[in-house]
Structure 1
Amino acid sequence: MIDDKDLKALMDYGESENPVVSLYLDVDLTKRTKEEVMLVLRGLLKEASAQADKADIERIRDFFTLEYDWQAKGVAVFSCEKSGLWQTYSLAAPVQDGVYVMPKPYVRSLVILKALHDRYGIALVSREQARFFLLLMGEVMEYEGVVGSIPGRHKQGGWAQARYQRHIDERAAQQLRSAAEAFVNLYSKEKWNYIILGGTDENTNMFQEFLPSNLRELVIGSFAADMTASTREIRDEALALAQAFEKKRAASLVKEAVTKAAKGKGAAIGLDDTLNAVREGRVQVLLVMPGFKASGRACENCGYVTVQEIENCPFCSANMVEVPDVVERAVEQTFKANGKVVVVQDGEELKKAGSIAALLRY
């Protein structure tokens, strides 16, 4: 899977005199066979051959014929042999088939893919042990768990039994505290966007109390599950919570943007105002509908983009050139400026506002 560092490196790739081939291929074998995938690939390469170098076409074909292991659901390939560019990425989610021959890598599909799939850390906890998982692109991967050693039930009665029970409770609390510490350490490496907890209400509540405030704020919900639950069961429970959360969050962000824009402060709606905010580096959250595109012009010097038909940049006076998609440029620039891109799937309100909006830093 591509990480933010790789994605920014592709974005920073300067425009080349040689054509760059960017190819996206859906290789989910639950939907079509290898033969069908290869048929689509041949069609894409034939489409690209009119503009691309023959060496790049052959290298991409050889990669899928001789090297690819068919384990992913999507693949992205970037090739420009004359400029020394060759990158392949196996993706955990399908992508829309497509090929682009341009002076630089076409990365919008990857940015949208990342925007559609946040990283969720999952902690399944009990009084005896904990298991940690990553939910990404609809799939769950289990990390190494934390195992405690809590004494079993004691049949002794009276005061001795009460003291023993307190001992058990203290040991259980210590186990949950240790599990929380391990989870915090894992977060420092994994940097999940959100957190989901599993287990009984009592255990998840206590575990959450042991988390630092910055991680408690990332918890979006919890589900009941036994420690022996399968990875599939964990995935189904966590995915349902994540999907409901993402739908509610997107609707809330759109409503906030529309409300703030109406008051003239803190948000931009529509393509013109949003592009201006992107240029000024003020975008904290960019909201965009999937598939929304618009042609326009871009400055060859400072990168300013607009849908207006102007010959010279109003900011640096450099030449403005036609670009097929200014929305792609807005997505790239927001990502580079460490803003967040949110793709709004059910976006009727956003569509009415122009299919794109932004919440601003200032």
Structure 2
Amino acid sequence: AILAKDLVRNALREAEKGGKNGCARADLNRILDLAGNLHGNQARAKAVFACSAENFWREFDLPPQLPGTQLFVNRRFNLKPLGPLLGAQPRLSVTLVDRQRARFFDLRLDELKERGGLFHTLPRRGRSDGFRGYDGGHAERRTADEAMHHFKAVAERLKEELEKGLWEKLIVGCHDSNWSEFESHLHPYVRQRLLGHFSTDVANVSTEQIREQASRILREALDERRQTLVKEVLDQAKSNNRGITGVRRVLRSLELGEVQTLFLGENFSARAVECTNCGHLDSHMVPYCVVCGRATRELEDVCDAIVPAAIRRDVELFYVKNDPEFDRVGNIAALLRFRADQNRSGEISAAS
């Protein structure tokens, strides 16, 4: 909170120097008041987007994964620090299951919401195991059969939810002794979306424990996916296939809708221009748009335009750090859904 207040006060002084003591000052003062109340929000991060000229104010509680406290005063909202949160995290289902219960949760941006459950009463054991244990053995088989039907019902519900698009990835919590049996009933399509599982007692686990375990598995899965895809995009770029590197090529492919996954160096920044009319982005600092001929404006950091465009188009986005090979190709790359310059025979022309 102290750092946030210092940043706001510095921004207020800069706004006074630049004569921006109208709308900007009103927004900054409101943020300053908010910063004074952040002491109770230590387990979360806070993002604020404000423009009093447009009567716009939005606050968001976020996971505590941001690089640090930052403040930006500009003509557009800065989404770059939020890129890893908004561009790579899938809609996640967390399902807890034992032999008679199931609980279903949604986890998005570290917020866990329970959306329903299933409960199946197992048959009670009698007072006696009967002649030579026959009744007892029969009861055990019946209990096992009822548990199997329960697991099948949970697996079927997950399949239906996936088909309806309620979630993209799955994490399961259950007793270790139940995992192999439950997993065997999952539909192959559901199993392909499974990120992992953790051991838990469905009846006694707390919401915070569920969030911690699921967030850990998601973090590990995203780290592994990022490493795999960075290697893939570099290999694809070398073979002039579905991978490209460099600002100019990435901007072109992003505008054409070719980009599936975007990779940016953690500290990547580059100048560019943006058309004031059609929004075309160009890494060449030209005064007029090559598409429509209208005037352009300079962007100190092209990421100010790239990141919002990627989020709007549902492009997967990863930030890459400590990768010498990625540094050598310019700290920006993209894995493509398709190549517009690929002809019908399957040959690919070099990107211009």
Q: TM-score, normalised by structure 1?
A: 0.77
Which of these residues, 244, 253, 264, is aligned with residue 277 of structure 1? Answer: 253
Work out whether 1:179 is the aligned partner of 2:150.
Answer: no
Return closer, same or farther for 1:125/1:349 CA change in 2, 3 Å cut-off: farther
The residue aligned with 1:78 is: 49
Return closer, same or farther for 1:263/1:36 CA change in 2, 3 Å cut-off: closer
Q: Residues 222-280 of structure 1, C-alpha deviation per residue, up to 9 Å, x if partnerless?
A: 23333334445444544443333222211110111111111111111122221111121
Return closer, same or farther for 1:80/1:318 CA change in 2, 3 Å cut-off: same
Which of these residues, 99, 112, 122, is aligned with residue 127 of structure 1? Answer: 99
CA distance in structure 2 between the aligned counterparts of 1:66 and 1:277, rounded to whole angstroms: 44
Give secondary structure in 2 for the equivalent of 1:335. Answer: helix
Q: Residues 87-110 of structure 1, C-alpha deviation per residue, up to 9 Å, x if partnerless?
A: 222223254322222223222333
The residue aligned with 2:140 is: 165
Q: Is the 8 A contact 1:126 1:200 kept in 2?
A: yes
Work out whether 1:197 is the aligned partner of 2:172.
Answer: yes
Matches within 5 A, 1:132-281: 132-136=104-108, 144-153=116-125, 155-156=129-130, 157=132, 159-183=134-158, 191-200=166-175, 203-227=178-202, 228-281=204-257
Which of these residues, 63, 68, 71, is aligned with residue 99 of structure 1? Answer: 71
CA distance in structure 2 between the aligned counterparts of 1:72 and 1:238, rounded to whole angstroms: 16
The residue aligned with 2:58 is: 87
The residue aligned with 1:331 is: 307
Return closer, same or farther for 1:71/1:178 CA change in 2, 3 Å cut-off: farther
Q: Residues 84-140 of structure 1, C-alpha deviation per residue, up to 9 Å, x if partnerless?
A: 222222223254322222223222333333236445322222112123444555676
Q: Is the 8 A contact 1:74 1:92 kept in 2?
A: yes
Q: Is the 8 A contact 1:116 1:343 kept in 2?
A: no
Return closer, same or farther for 1:303/1:133 CA change in 2, 3 Å cut-off: same
Q: Aligned-pair RMSD on alpha carbons?
A: 3.3
The residue aligned with 1:288 is: 264
- The aligned amino acid for 2:192 is E
Q: Which moved more, 1:265-274 or 1:141-150?
A: 141-150
CA distance in structure 1 between the aligned counterparts of 2:33 and 2:289, rounded to whole angstroms: 43
Q: Residues 296-349 of structure 1, C-alpha deviation per residue, up to 9 Å, x if partnerless?
A: 111222222222122222222222221111123222222222222122345443
Q: Which moved more, 1:76-85 or 1:236-245?
A: 236-245
Q: Is the 8 A contact 1:286 1:331 kept in 2?
A: no
Give secondary structure in 2 for the equivalent of 1:75. Answer: strand
Give secondary structure in 1 for the equivalent of 2:148. Answer: helix
Work out whether 1:55 is the aligned partner of 2:26.
Answer: yes
Give secondary structure in 1 for the equivalent of 2:263. Answer: strand
Give secondary structure in 2 for the equivalent of 1:98. Answer: coil
The residue aligned with 1:42 is: 9
Q: Which moved more, 1:119-128 or 1:70-79?
A: 70-79
Q: Which moved more, 1:261-270 or 1:155-164?
A: 155-164
Q: Residues 129-180 of structure 1, C-alpha deviation per residue, up to 9 Å, x if partnerless?
A: 1234445556766555433311345634555444433321221122223333
CA distance in structure 2 between the aligned counterparts of 1:190 and 1:71, rounded to whole angstroms: 33
Unaligned runs of 5+ in 2: 339-352
The residue aligned with 1:111 is: 83
Q: TM-score, normalised by structure 2?
A: 0.79
Which of these residues, 274, 299, 305, is aligned with residue 275 of structure 2? Answer: 299
Work out whether 1:353 is the aligned partner of 2:329.
Answer: yes
CA distance in structure 1 between the aligned counterparts of 2:115 and 2:13, rounded to whole angstroms: 42
- The aligned amino acid for 1:195 is L
Give secondary structure in 2 for the equivalent of 1:221. Answer: strand
* Identity rate, percent: 27
Kindly state the Cα deviation for residue 354 of structure 1 after the two structures are TM-superposed: 1.6
- The aligned amino acid for 2:55 is G
Larger radius of gyration: 2
Q: Residues 167-226 of structure 1, C-alpha deviation per residue, up to 9 Å, x if partnerless?
A: 212211222233335555666899444212222456334434544444322102223333
CA distance in structure 2 between the aligned counterparts of 1:232 and 1:101, rounded to whole angstroms: 35
Give secondary structure in 2 for the equivalent of 1:256. Answer: helix
Q: Is the 8 A contact 2:8 2:31 kept in 1?
A: no
Q: Is the 8 A contact 1:72 1:91 kept in 2?
A: no
- The aligned amino acid for 1:84 is N
Q: Is the 8 A contact 2:88 2:316 kept in 1?
A: no
Unaligned runs of 5+ in 1: 1-33
- The aligned amino acid for 2:142 is H
CA distance in structure 1 between the aligned counterparts of 2:288 and 2:81, rounded to whole angstroms: 29
Q: How many residues align?
A: 329
CA distance in structure 2 between the aligned counterparts of 1:39 and 1:353, rounded to whole angstroms: 38
- The aligned amino acid for 1:42 is R
